[in-house]
Amino acid sequence: MKNSINDVNLPKKKSAEEISRAKSIVNILKEPVVVVDEDGSIIQANSEFYSTFQLQRKEGFEVGLRDIPFFQELNEVLENKQLRKQGIIDLKISLELPNEVKKNFLVNAGLLDPQGNSSDSILISFNEVNVKPIGKRNEKNDLQEIYEIFSQAPAIISVLRGPNHVFELANENYLQLIGNRSIIGKPVREALPEVENQGFFEILDNVYNSGETYTGSEVAIKLYVGKQELKNSFVDFVYQPILNDLNEVSGIFVHAVDVTEKVTARKKLEDSENELRKLIDTVPAIIWITRPDGQNHYLNKNWFEYSGQTESESADFGWLKAVHPDDEKRVRETFMKANINKEDFTISFRLRNWEGTYRWVLDSGSPNYSADGEYEGMVGTVVDVHEEKVKEQLIKEKEHRIRSVIEEADVATALYTGREMKIEIANDAMIELWGKDHSVVGKTLREALPELEGQPFHGLLQGVYETGETYWGKEDPADLLIDNKLQTGFFNFTYKALRDERGEIYGILNMAMDVTETVKSRELLKESESRFKQLADLMPEKVANTDAHGNFIYFNQGWLDYTGFTGEELIGKGWTNFIHPNEKEEYLKSWRNSLDSGKDFEMEFRYLNKKNRYKWHLSRAEAIKDESGNIQMWICTATEIQKIKLEEKRKEDFLKMVSHELKTPITSIKGYVQLLLSLLKKEKEEEISGKPYEMYLERVDHQINRLTRLISEMLDLSRIEKNKLDLQKETFNLNNLIIETVQDINYTNTGHNIHITEDYNCNVYGDKDRIGQVLINLVTNAVKYSPFNPEIEVKINKVRDNKVSVSVTDFGIGIRKENQKKIFKRFYRVDGNNEETYSGFGIGLYLANEIIQRHSGSLKVKSEMDEGSVFTFTLYEALEV
Ligand code: ADP
């Protein structure tokens, strides 16, 4: 049955223009298209419209859509003014056509004149679709239809038929994938033999047999694209079974998408990430990445291996806990500052390793920006620099030590580095020695001291630098420009090579001492020495010269003449070997004493002459000292006193003889005088009264006493010389002895007042007569040498260490300092004293001293010229009273 279009409504009058526009649009479109006015009347429709909907075209007037029953649904939509205005897009409608054919259409409609000025005519197009819902496909559906739908799709599509999967269909993309081979009608195994063993055929078999859809994702497949060229591709694919009417699988719909690019891109990314990570982990450094707020984002494997921290321990700022507490603040601040300012930083600090040991590390970081320039935080490395740091510290310390040693050294010291001898350090003493200022430091020696050019020093330095052998300069002359004047100085100095830890020479240490003064004064000394020698040779005396230690270095002509040897021979043979053995020991002792004390030496001894005879000499030596009192040398003189000695001997022998000869008669005279005196005292007769017998006799007695004393002194003298002075020791009261002796003297010396002060009373153990003799000597001397002052004091005092002292004080003529030692020598008498007034032999004090010394005591004098003298002897107290 055909729908007839009745003239129910007359068409509204349309403009001819509108109709012709509708007509031309409608006629160029291939799908069924109709233009209807606002009432639904058909203005124009193309032939496809009429044929599809099996309508008959009626010329002259148009029917409305509402008149056609199967457009009912569409009409209702179009009556909605709003929808009509908006237009209809892809409205899906099913139409039951007159021959009971049900067709599905996608309807699109839009106003012919969207502005709607002239009309509300609408253009409606119908697209027939026939899509089954996704799921198992029914063979009933036209494959051609499916193919058409998908042919232009970006997907890869094919249809396989039967259990052998014979290609029935394959779209452009599919053909491209397999290199445009002709496959239609071929089973897959034949069409794509290279796919065998890649698993696909098995899956196809499985889908075919089970009817289950198979979905694969990013599956690799190798296919020939050229003749021999196998290409790797990745595909996402669906194998969907196609069912026939009996619901049996008759084929497989293959739908795939080539994802090779995506997969390879991702794989590449993954690979490169893996590579990077591997790289980062194998770099022998700790690598870290932080977030913009400074928090830890990433630490490589090395960090965890080094620090022993866990991921959670080092999270945020946990890594700071491994930093040495003393460095932590500095590290945190440096890092945060760099992070805030987005700038590079480098810092070294101590970092605790997993063992708990702190090691020096160097941490450097840089800001990290994303591709679009956004700050992402810092990235950096931490490298173990412990050895270097420790070495560096050691070197620093060593350098510091060297520097401070050099700078504080009294000795002029400088350090030169490199072959060019750059002055690295020069202390004040060295700069002063050079006559320069501190600006020389940092220059080379050539620049700093150009005046050294042509002098041996540069060559010496280079030599030391090359060989490493120290050079010792001894009084080497150097010309230095000081105060704009080239001055020659003499220097003791060393050039010592300095080596680094590898043992390589890197510099030279120069220490120098200005010995110009010494050299010059020695030259002067040499000059004066030679003058002295000339002079000494002219002297008839024997003159010799030793160094400060007493080694003879010179003998004058007098010595050479006397001994018959040359100076060298005398030095070689040992000068002392010519001294008489009797005096040699004492000589050595006394000479050593002088050498040690610097005191003058004086001694009499015999010396062997060239005729092998010993001759007496008075030998003197005097030290020559420098300004600061150091002994420079000794000048020794020897005067032959052989004749004097002989005379002395004769005098001695004579005295010995005289005293012996005199003593006996005097003793007997004294006896008789005393006898006579006592007779006289008993018988006081008139006949002798008025005659001065007694007085004369007393004077005789007095003179005899003097003579007796003199004689016994002389005897004592020779006894002492023969070492035969015997002492008769006993314990006696010293006070009593003094009182008695003074009384005796008072007896005969009425002109003086001898006053005794006894501050102490004691006994001594000794020869009473000899001690008395000493006392007599001192008191009679006091009387004798104080003719104008009659006061004499004798004092007994306690001295420490169980000693007692007896002093005799007079207020007489006194003794000059230089004579105070000499008066204790035998026969010494102070010259100039009136020989008449002060008669004597000069042996009294000698004896007194000998006697006191033999009692382990001492005799001393204190005296001032014209004021008087005090002679004091000290003795040990007797232990038992
Ligand atoms: P002498 O017999 O000449 O007195 P001494 O040995 O007793 O001999 O004395 C030596 C010298 O010491 C004397 O010649 C004298 O010059 C000096 N002398 C001794 N005692 C005194 C004194 N108390 N005052 C001054 N000079 C003295």
Position with higher pLDDT, 245 vs 366: 366
- Give the Å distance between the CA of 244 and the centre of ligand 1: 172
- Separation of first and last alpha carbons in the chain: 188
Residue 133's pLDDT is what? 39
Residue closest by Cα to atom 4 of ligand 1: 840
Residue 7's pLDDT is what? 38
Average pLDDT of 642-648? Answer: 85
Mutate to test the pocket of ligand 1, among 809, 815, 849, 865 (most ligand atoms within 8 A of CB): 815
Residue 420's pLDDT is what? 92
Confidence of residue 11 (pLDDT cuts 50, 70, 90): very low
Residue 205's pLDDT is what? 93
Could you give the dihedral angle defined by the CA atoms of residues 189, 190, 192 and 194, in that order, rounded to the nearest 10 degrees? 80
Q: What are the DSSP calls for 145-193, one per residue?
A: HHHHHHHTSSSEEEEEETTTTEEEEE-HHHHHHTTS---TTSBHHHH-G
Q: Write phi, then psi, for 731 (nearest 5 degrees).
A: -95, 125
Rounded CA separation 580/563 (Å): 14
- Give the Å distance between the CA of 829 and the centre of ligand 1: 6
Q: What are the DSSP calls for 697-727, one per residue?
A: HHHHHHHHHHHHHHHHHHHHHHHHHTT----
Q: According to the 3-state scheme, what is the secondary structure of 500-564?
A: CCCCCEEEEEEEEEECHHHHHHHHHHHHHHHHHHHHHHHCCCEEEEEECCCCEEEECHHHHHHHC
User: Is the pLDDT confidence value at 831 over 80?
Assistant: no
Which atom of ligand 1 approaches the CA of 845 most closely? Answer: 6
Residue closest by Cα to atom 13 of ligand 1: 829
pLDDT digits 0-9 by tens, 295-352: 998 888 889 999 999 989 988 899 999 999 999 999 999 999 999 999 999 999 999 9
- Give the Å distance between the CA of 823 and the centre of ligand 1: 7
The torsion region of residue 738 among left (phi > 0), alpha (psi -120 to 50) and beta comes to alpha
CA distances from 24 to 45, 58, 113 (A): 10, 18, 14
- Give the Å distance between the CA of 827 and the centre of ligand 1: 10
Average pLDDT of 832-853? Answer: 78
pLDDT digits 0-9 by tens, 573-614: 877 888 999 999 999 999 999 999 999 999 999 999 999 999
Confidence of residue 152 (pLDDT cuts 50, 70, 90): low
Residues with CB under 6 A from ligand 1: 781-782, 785, 810, 812-815, 823, 828-830, 833, 840-846, 869
Average pLDDT of 60-70? Answer: 69
Residue closest by Cα to atom 2 of ligand 1: 840
- Give the Å distance between the CA of 75 and the centre of ligand 1: 178
Residue 52's pLDDT is what? 82
- Give the Å distance between the CA of 784 and the centre of ligand 1: 8
- Give the Å distance between the CA of 843 and the centre of ligand 1: 9
Rounded CA separation 77/88 (Å): 9
Average pLDDT of 673-677? Answer: 83
Residue closest by Cα to atom 20 of ligand 1: 781
Residue closest by Cα to atom 11 of ligand 1: 829
Confidence of residue 9 (pLDDT cuts 50, 70, 90): very low
Confidence of residue 147 (pLDDT cuts 50, 70, 90): low
Residue closest by Cα to atom 21 of ligand 1: 781
Confidence of residue 721 (pLDDT cuts 50, 70, 90): confident
Residue closest by Cα to atom 18 of ligand 1: 781
Residue closest by Cα to atom 19 of ligand 1: 781
Position with higher pLDDT, 570 vs 421: 421
Mean per-residue pLDDT over the chain, rounded: 84
Which atom of ligand 1 approaches the CA of 810 most closely? Answer: 23
Residue closest by Cα to atom 14 of ligand 1: 829
Position 123, amino acid:
L
- Give the Å distance between the CA of 865 and the centre of ligand 1: 13
Closest of 412, 414, 437 to residue 514, by C-alpha:
412
- Give the Å distance between the CA of 669 and the centre of ligand 1: 29
Residue 592's pLDDT is what? 93
Rounded CA separation 322/325 (Å): 9
pLDDT digits 0-9 by tens, 860-879: 999 999 999 999 999 999 87
Which atom of ligand 1 approaches the CA of 868 most closely? Answer: 24
User: Is the pLDDT confidence value at 836 over 60?
Assistant: no
CB count within 10 Å of CB 810 equals 27
User: Is the pLDDT confidence value at 5 over 50?
Assistant: no
Which atom of ligand 1 approaches the CA of 841 most closely? Answer: 2
Residue 28's pLDDT is what? 72
Three-state SS for 14? coil
Residue closest by Cα to atom 16 of ligand 1: 830
Mutate to test the pocket of ligand 1, among 773, 822, 826, 829 (most ligand atoms within 8 A of CB): 829
Which atom of ligand 1 approaches the CA of 828 most closely? Answer: 10
Q: How far is CA 629 from the centre of its chain?
A: 44
pLDDT digits 0-9 by tens, 188-239: 999 999 999 999 999 999 999 998 889 988 898 988 887 777 888 888 898 9
